[in-house]
Amino acid sequence: MNSLAEPVARVSIDLGPRSYDILIGSGLLDAPASWSDLPDATTAAIVTDSNVAPLYAGRLKASLSAKYPKTTLIQLPSGEAHKDWAAMNSIFDALLGSGCDRKTLLFALGGGVVGDVTGFAAACYMRGVAYVQIPTTLLAQVDSSVGGKTAINHALGKNMIGAFYQPLRVVADIDTLRSLPKREVAAGLAEVIKYAPIADASFLGWLEEHLDELLALDASALQTAVRRSCEIKAIVVGRDEREEGLRAILNFGHTFGHAIETGLGHGQWLHGEAVGCGMVMAADLSARLGLIDAGYASRLKALIAAAGLPVRGPDSLKVDRYLELMRMDKKAHGGEIRFVVLEAVGRAGVRTAPDGLVTQVIEANSA
Amino acid sequence: MNSLAEPVARVSIDLGPRSYDILIGSGLLDAPASWSDLPDATTAAIVTDSNVAPLYAGRLKASLSAKYPKTTLIQLPSGEAHKDWAAMNSIFDALLGSGCDRKTLLFALGGGVVGDVTGFAAACYMRGVAYVQIPTTLLAQVDSSVGGKTAINHALGKNMIGAFYQPLRVVADIDTLRSLPKREVAAGLAEVIKYAPIADASFLGWLEEHLDELLALDASALQTAVRRSCEIKAIVVGRDEREEGLRAILNFGHTFGHAIETGLGHGQWLHGEAVGCGMVMAADLSARLGLIDAGYASRLKALIAAAGLPVRGPDSLKVDRYLELMRMDKKAHGGEIRFVVLEAVGRAGVRTAPDGLVTQVIEANSA
């Protein structure tokens, strides 16, 4: 427990009957108050992975026990390679095998993969049961656990199969971030940094000022960064739950980034690393389209590099393969690639761009 | 084309932003007007099975061509044994392989299995694309294509994995029923008959009067039966889209019926056959609970038998196995089985019943 802990922050996502809160603070995992007002359930099923289980599963089970006397622990293999139907089906096997009914509550304890697979499993099990996100990585706390996008991967593309399905609550215990390897912290910072150029010009300055504290896992700085990220995501998701317009801006850097992840094979670069590099490319594209100053793109690139993220695409991935992969992006319409670009400092939009210009961007920003 | 065709009937399902119409009539499959006001799409994907494709896929493709110049045909293996993830995934493979994006429209052409798998695939593909149901069996026209319940089976239970996901439209061309084997017609009549005891006392008399015409596939009688069935289903689904209460009454006969289907292994009895026999058991249970006269239960049983459906459970299935399977039913809560019973003639509700009474019902109604 952090003796200098800030009070627990609460960010609300306003989606009518599907509204919910994100709790952000220290010690939340062990606090029965984190769950006491959730609905009753016949069984609480904790879904986690082989990395996270030894660290936190026992503590979560103890913390839930006052509210849910019966808990089932479901452990998935860890890693993006297991964000697939086999993992989903192992959840279904366990739920059906232990007689879990429609009043079962799932608790997704882990990073983005656990959250995405568990959320999609909750969406599909008996046509939908409730679930709670307990993200234990920075990336999951600031991005994937919030907003109800759930999915598994398909051989032909990342996150191609899934559902919009909102959790009942997100509980982000920032103490869990202390167990993260440095590389995962940097990957999470990519999604934190993302919010500045697309929605909050002043947040970029705050990040430049507090980057060292964030990299040192200072609790107060982390709580502020997670809270501000969730606030921005809450506004965007509240306006466009099903990604019919505005929400696409949250994919800034992701069109290039997904191409890098899929092109190299999942597991080579972390998602956040690919997004970091993808944001450099997307900012460069925005500058070449005349939307922002080259100076702002450079400033963003410097922050991404200082966070320990790659700023050049992998040597092995060629332009044609980028274009091929980006044409399968979910934002594409009729084979035309749509990029999230910066339309000004702190404002993003979705545009098409000539293949020639995209080629220049990829070549200028590859190793 | 039927020269004595009735005008096209239109039944509306009122679900706010997810409202849609069911069109019921002759010649709808070939009529461009059936699709002309649907949204534009980059690609129309027709999903069907190996039985239905040779009969209707070419005609549907021709009929859609005025609206959708580009169509993709996806053919699934036929039968309940293929209502599984492999079938879903073959749809995803085909959609991704032909570059189908979020604006793709799926057309489910076939019976209940094709409709359920295609609807669930539409719910999951890129987190949701639109789809149209074109049911070609009586069972699908009066039940499974209407109301947005989609699912695949799991080894431990039928329809355990799925979504509530409404179609854009249902187009029920009653001419397609003429290609049905007699056994499938009878199975479909089980779901038609179901609507009378649960919601419309007078419909039972109409069915008794017109059963011979229905069995002879008379177009006018079929259209009336499909329309009345859809009207009742539309009212129930409009009040309880996600089966939180009232909608459960549509499962009259299904708790016993699913146990028969799963207990024998899928494919032994048709779904409608199991439901027919399940309704006999559920009506008997209602009578033994003192809710309805034994005479009404007998009248219902006589109609089910006259439709060519089994009215006695299979010899090989024992009471303990029924109870075990019924405890995994999606309506069960905390291991307690909940039965849809008749609370009066034309009115149904959900109740628990003592295991001893359920045992009597199964034993009295088994071969």
Q: Quick one: what percent of chain B has pLDDT higher than 70?
A: 99
ipTM of the complex: 0.91
Q: H or E stretch including A148?
A: none
Say if B213 falls within a structural domain: yes
Which residues make Cβ contacts (< 8 Å) with residue A170, sequence separation at least 6?
A: A20, A21, A22, A23, A132, A133, A134, A135, A145, A146, A230
Give the confidence band of A330 by pLDDT, cuts at 50, 70, 90: confident
Q: CB neighbours (10 Å) of residue A354?
A: 9
Chain B environment of A130 (Cβ under 8 Å): none
pLDDT in tens, B282-321: 999 999 999 999 999 999 999 999 999 999 999 999 999 9
Chain B environment of A151 (Cβ under 8 Å): 127
Q: CB neighbours (10 Å) of residue A363?
A: 11
pLDDT in tens, B120-176: 999 999 999 999 999 999 999 999 999 999 999 998 888 999 999 999 999 999 999
Give the confidence band of B108 by pLDDT, cuts at 50, 70, 90: very high
Domain total in chain B: 2
CB–CB of B151 and A97 under 8 A?
no
**In the beta sheet, which residues pair with residue A25?**
A173
Active site residue A254: yes
Chain B environment of A243 (Cβ under 8 Å): 127
pLDDT in tens, B262-282: 899 877 999 999 999 999 999
Chain A environment of B103 (Cβ under 8 Å): 333-334
- A165 and A290 fall within a common domain: no
CA A357 to chain centre: 29
Asked if residues B260 and B277 have their Cβ atoms less than 8 Å apart, the reply is yes
At A286 the pLDDT is 98
pLDDT in tens, B51-79: 999 999 999 999 999 999 899 999 999 98
Q: H or E stretch including A161?
A: strand A157-164
Higher pLDDT, B141 or A266: B141
CB–CB of B123 and A156 under 8 A?
no
At B1 the pLDDT is 38
- A26 and A151 fall within a common domain: yes
CA distance A221 to chain B (A): 34
B156-160, long-range: CB < 8 A, 24+ apart: B156/A93, B156/A96, B156/A97, B156/B328, B157/A96, B157/B258, B157/B262, B157/B325, B157/B328, B157/B329, B157/B330, B158/B258, B158/B261, B158/B262, B158/B266, B159/B116, B159/B330, B160/A92, B160/A96, B160/A125, B160/A126, B160/B330
Say if B4 falls within a structural domain: no
Tell me which of A141, A161, A179 is where a domain ends: A179
Active site residue A251: yes
Residues A252 and A259: their CA atoms lie apart, in Å, by 13
Residues A243 and A62: their CA atoms lie apart, in Å, by 37
At A158 the pLDDT is 83
At A3 the pLDDT is 42
- A165 and A57 fall within a common domain: yes
Asked if residues A115 and A91 have their Cβ atoms less than 8 Å apart, the reply is no
- A237 and A165 fall within a common domain: no
Active site residue A191: yes
pLDDT in tens, A282-329: 999 999 999 999 999 999 999 999 999 999 999 999 999 999 999 988
* Angular region, A275: left φ>0, alpha ψ -120 to 50, beta rest: alpha
At A191 the pLDDT is 98
φ, ψ at B335 (rounded to 5°)? 85, 0
At B2 the pLDDT is 41
Chain B environment of A122 (Cβ under 8 Å): none
Distance, first Cα to last Cα, chain B: 43
Tell me which of A130, A160, A179 is where a domain ends: A179
- B132 and B193 fall within a common domain: no
pLDDT in tens, B184-217: 999 999 999 999 999 999 999 999 999 999 999 9
Chain B interface, best mutation among A18, A84, A102, A124, by max B CB count within 10 A: A124
Total CB pairs under 8 A between chain A and B: 93
Q: Which of A67, A227, A251, A301 is catalytic?
A: A251
Which stretches does DSSP call E strand in A203-288? Answer: none
Chain A interface, best mutation among B126, B164, B337, by max A CB count within 10 A: B126
Asked if residues B279 and B298 have their Cβ atoms less than 8 Å apart, the reply is no
At A5 the pLDDT is 57
- B202 and B154 fall within a common domain: no
CATH of the domain at B59: 3.40.50.1970
Mean pLDDT of chain A: 95
- B34 and B168 fall within a common domain: yes
Alpha-carbon Rg for chain A in angstroms: 20
Decide if pLDDT at A4 tops 70.
no
Please give the positions of B annotated as active site: 127, 149, 191, 233, 243, 247, 251, 254, 258, 271
Nearest to A163 among B93, B96, B128 (CB): B128
Say if B1 falls within a structural domain: no
Decide if pLDDT at B256 tops 60.
yes
Decide if pLDDT at A2 tops 50.
no
Helix (H, G, I), strand (E, B) or coil at B309: coil
CATH of the domain at B267: 1.20.1090.10
DSSP, residue by residue, A10-60? EEEE--GGG-EEEEEESSTTT-GGGTTTSPP-S-EEEEEETTTIIIIIHHH
Chain A environment of B99 (Cβ under 8 Å): 327-328, 335
Helix (H, G, I), strand (E, B) or coil at B168: coil
Decide if pLDDT at B6 tops 80.
no
Least confident of A107-116, A150-159, A352-361, B186-195: A150-159
Residue with tokens 């709670």: A132
- A204 and A252 fall within a common domain: yes
Say if A307 falls within a structural domain: yes
- Burial class of residue B38, CB neighbours in 10 A (0-12, 13-18, 19+): middle
Say if A221 falls within a structural domain: yes
CB–CB of B92 and A154 under 8 A?
yes
Give the CA distances from residue A107 to residues A29, A227, B128, B252, in Å, rounded to whole numbers and listed in that order: 12, 21, 24, 33
Say if A3 falls within a structural domain: no
CB–CB of A101 and B149 under 8 A?
no
Say if B3 falls within a structural domain: no
- B145 and B227 fall within a common domain: no
CA distance B244 to chain A (A): 10
Residues A40 and A70: their CA atoms lie apart, in Å, by 11
**In the beta sheet, which residues pair with residue B290?**
none
Mean pLDDT of chain B: 95
Decide if pLDDT at B5 tops 70.
no
CB–CB of B334 and A42 under 8 A?
yes
- A19 and A157 fall within a common domain: yes
pLDDT in tens, A332-358: 887 789 999 999 999 999 999 999 999
Asked if residues B83 and B154 have their Cβ atoms less than 8 Å apart, the reply is no
- B116 and B240 fall within a common domain: no
pLDDT in tens, A66-89: 999 899 999 999 988 899 999 999
Tell me which of B160, B179, B198 is where a domain ends: B179
Active site residue A127: yes
Decide if pLDDT at A159 tops 70.
yes
Chain B environment of A123 (Cβ under 8 Å): 163
- B48 and B24 fall within a common domain: yes
Q: Average pLDDT, stretch B245-253? A: 95
Give the CA distances from residue B164 to residues A306, A334, B125, B147, in Å, rounded to whole numbers and listed in that order: 46, 28, 14, 8
Q: Average pLDDT, stretch A149-177? A: 95
Domain of residue B175, residue span: 9-179
Q: Which residues of A touch B (CB under 8 A)?
A: 42, 85, 89, 92-93, 96-97, 99, 101-103, 123-128, 149-151, 154, 156-157, 160-164, 242-243, 327-328, 330, 332-335
Active site residue A154: no
Q: H or E stretch including A192?
A: helix A182-199
Nearest to B162 among A101, A124, A154 (CB): A124
CA distance B111 to chain A (A): 20
Which residues make Cβ contacts (< 8 Å) with residue B50, sequence separation at least 6?
A: B75, B76, B77, B78
At A329 the pLDDT is 82
